[in-house]
Amino acid sequence: MRRLRTSSGSPTQAQLLAYDQNKVLTRSSLSDMLAGKFTKPPPWERVAAYVTACVRAAHASRIDLALEEELASLRGDHATLTDLIESAVRETHTPAPRCSAPQHRPALYRLPPRNLHFTGRDAALGELRQRLTSGHEGAVQVIHGLGGVGKTQLAVEYAYRYRSEYRLVAFMDAEDPDLVPTQFASLAQELGLAEVVSEQVIPRVYGALQDHSPWLLVFDNGDKPGTLVDALPSGYSMDSGHVIVTTRLRGWSSRAGVVDLDVFTRAESVKLLARRVAGMTTLVAGRIAECLGDLPLALEQAAGYMDYNHTAPEEYVALLTSRLEDMIALGELANRPTVVVATLWQLSARQLETERPQAKRLLELCALLAPDPIPLNLFSGSAETLDLAATDQVAWDATVGALAGLGLARRGPSCLVLHRLVQAAIRSAMPDDVRTDARARLCRALLRAVPHDIHSDPDARLRWQVLLPHAVALSRDEPPPECAAETAQLLRLASAFLLSIGDPQVALPLCERALAIDELLDLRDAEIGFDLITLAQIHRDRGAAQLARPMAERALNLHESCLPADSPAIATDLATLARIRHLLGDHKEAVPLAERALRIDEAAYGPNDPYVSFDLIALASVHLDLDDHALAVPLISRALRIRETSYAPDHLYVGYALLLKARALHALNDPTAADLARRGALILNAELGRTHPKTESAFALVTGLLERAQ
């Protein structure tokens, strides 16, 4: 406002007051406004009247108002003043409609400044408007969602966007229900009511609002419905206005309509960052949004951090990736400088600690896992994990329900889902001893839950797909001594599963970490051997047989020194080494290794076990490379029968056996080879994808066989 000026220079207070036609401002309040020295929230409804008068005077050529310059200077720090000026200008430019009632501006009570960077949410705003105007039952609507998802911003934007539809808009801070009557008492004064006893202030205000119909009340950050029941309208009061409640808590559906607000879409996240941060590209904005889980508050905070610190977007991505728990505490919001993501859920966590300590414990356990669906049976399967008896279904249901009820998690039929930033905030507040204990419990729980025998368990793949993200997340940092051995085993099992689904590149660093951990521990020769043979298999599948050979040989030596001679673990070492040697061209040396592995597994498991099929495939592969096709075919056929009996028809292991048999039959000029190859290629295509090297090789085999057949 200091840029308002007359042709003779800057206007004096007296000149400006001359255009305060309704005498709503005193000289002292004008001075405070111009200097930005309000000691309490400004009387915005009075400022609105003053700004409107000034703009009207400017258009009458009585004051020279440099509007564009004014808006530019105010936009960053005085969003409400900017909005008032823009509104006044629109009102001045818009002719009054013919034969209609005079236009009015709504009275505003404690409505926060409008967010000039408000992004997206058109569908949610439209839904909210439609619900509120749908009749008596829609007069109260609740905006429910995770902390930081933008509930308050949506309510405030609704108030500004549709304010021309109301004669009064009031904003109540409902976080502390005991203070709501005090705000009603203040609103009563604004409405011109004489002093009212506290017990009568709320009904008297609703009575007075009949003369200001239609009106809008926003109760921000409301608690459970019971705590606000006396503050909400009832009966005839609901016919004259609308109420919006924002809350993180569930339980409102019986009292009001509920609009569930989710995080931004990725497109909305990218749009916000691109508007706020200079030099932001769509690619980098997408990476930042991914790290922050598209949470609107976190995106605003990130934009504020980059703007203040002049941090390049690429550098900010690196900070998020390596220091997420630290970064969520940094970066100010222009209109909410004390709010940061790191503290959003502290009050809820403290409430859990007091009212439901087991739920707080469950929250801490979940915070160490991945931001993916967390199966509830991971915790309920053993009382040790959560110190809660799995048989007490009522206590268990209330424990899980407390996280969902407070908006800290979404609950599915058999899982919980936490936002990645809720997890980061809870982790950052966990004492070291609590974190160590939680990690050890989770390691043991995951080891009980994941399939160890990936090859012979028909459900192994489905269970591993659910649990793999959590195993990887839990094992990402260096393990404390209390669970180092369990962490190494979990990493090795995860890498073996990844190898089994054709992903050796992702499996490699996990297995390398498992080996590094085990080699630092005492009395781990057998486990080191398991790490080494898995690592050898990974390098073999990566096409690095030369790297794989010494690992397989060391694994065999370790296991022969500490395990019985007929141990199936030794058979795995032998079969793996046989396949590596034949890849290196040592075919004759590979045969006795594969034959010994087959004898051990047949004695240990019987002739029709899936492990026997791996030995058969290893031996058959060597015979194929020795051009002993007549010996190879019966071995492959037997392996294929075992796998078709043990696995689903579209299992990868069935596909591999079909392709190997196609190669062998083609060498014998058998015309059925092309059909077998096609079946195998289709399985690999469905399981690995068309661009996987093994799939491409399979289709190349099919093409070659079909061309030769012609």
pLDDT of 227 reads 75
pLDDT at 6 over 70: no
* Tens digits of residue pLDDT in 665-684: 998 889 899 999 999 999 99
Residue 467 or residue 332, greater confidence: 467
Q: What are phi and psi of 142, to 5 degrees?
A: -110, 130
Q: In the structure encoding, which two tokens stand for residue 118, read together?
A: 């408000």
DSSP per residue, 550-574? HHHHHHHHHHHHHS-TT-HHHHHHH
251 SS3 class: coil
Each residue of 590-599: pLDDT tens digit?
A: 999 999 999 9
Average pLDDT over residues 313-335: 86
- Binned at pLDDT 50, 70 and 90, residue 564 comes out as very high
Check whether 294 has a pLDDT greater than 80.
Answer: yes
What's the burial of 389, exposed, middle or buried (CB within 10 Å: 0-12/13-18/19+)?
exposed
In angstroms, the Cα distances linking 220 to 8, 144, 153, 217, 301 are 46, 11, 10, 10, 21
| Residue of 679, 655, 677 whose CA lies nearest to 667 | 677
Neighbouring residues of 268: CB distance < 8 A, sequence distance ≥ 6? 119, 120, 121, 294
The predicted pLDDT at position 194 comes to 77
Distance CA 119, CA 643 (A): 55
> Is the pLDDT reported for residue 166 higher than 70?
yes
**Of 41-45, 211-215, 223-227, 393-397, where does mean pLDDT reach its minimum?**
41-45
Say which amino acid occupies 598. Answer: L
Largest CA distance in the chain: 109
Q: Mean pLDDT, the chain, as a whole number?
A: 83
Mean pLDDT within 124-130:
92
Predicted pLDDT at 192: 85
What are the distances in angstroms from CA 640 to CA 431, 457, 611, 621? 54, 17, 12, 13
pTM, two decimal places: 0.73
Tell me the pLDDT tens digit for each residue of 598-629. 999 999 999 999 999 999 999 999 999 888 88
What does the CA dihedral 663, 669, 670, 675 come to, rounded to 10 degrees? Answer: 50
pLDDT at 381: 65
Q: Which of 12-21, 293-302, 452-461, 642-651 comes out lowest in average pLDDT?
A: 12-21
Of residues 527 and 193, more confidence is placed in 527
The region of weakest confidence among 175-189, 212-226, 333-347 is: 333-347
